[in-house]
């Protein structure tokens, strides 16, 4: 989870969706392949939504675990700042 753009897998998925959407836009409305491409785009869109939901769920669970860890530390423990920074970093991924 080091990157902030959703990961390489999601980037590839978005590229595929953009390519298909562009292909659909350039097709004649009566092209018989157009319906198939629209179905493909819909399927990829649903996959994208499900993948992002799972990813966000994982991030929220990790943030909750870190918040619990902060609660167990003494007020002036220097690890608190590191943990809070990690929570902030994770929040930018959502």
Tens of pLDDT, residue by residue over 7-34, are: 677 889 999 999 999 999 999 999 999 9
Give the model confidence (pLDDT) of 23-76 as tens digits: 999 999 999 999 999 999 999 999 999 999 999 999 999 999 999 999 999 989
Cβ burial 36-45 (10 Å sphere, 16+ → b, else e): ebeebbeebe
From the list 57, 48, 59, 49, the residue with the least C-alpha distance to 92 is 59
Q: Are 87 and 73 in contact (CB under 8 A)?
A: no
**Alpha-carbon torsion angle 21, 26, 29, 34, nearest 10:** -50
Phi and psi at 6, nearest 5°, equal 100, -10
pTM of the model: 0.69
Phi and psi at 78, nearest 5°, equal -65, -20
């Amino acid at each position: 989870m080091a990157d902030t753009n959703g990961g390489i897998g999601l980037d590839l998925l978005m590229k595929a969706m953009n390519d298909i959407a562009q292909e659909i836009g350039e097709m004649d409305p009566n092209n018989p392949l157009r319906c198939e491409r629209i179905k493909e785009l819909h399927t990829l869109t649903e996959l994208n939504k499900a993948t992002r939901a799972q990813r966000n769920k994982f991030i929220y669970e990790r943030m909750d675990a870190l918040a619990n860890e902060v609660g167990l530390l003494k007020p002036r423990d220097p690890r608190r700042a590191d943990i809070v920074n990690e929570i902030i970093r994770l929040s930018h991924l959502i």
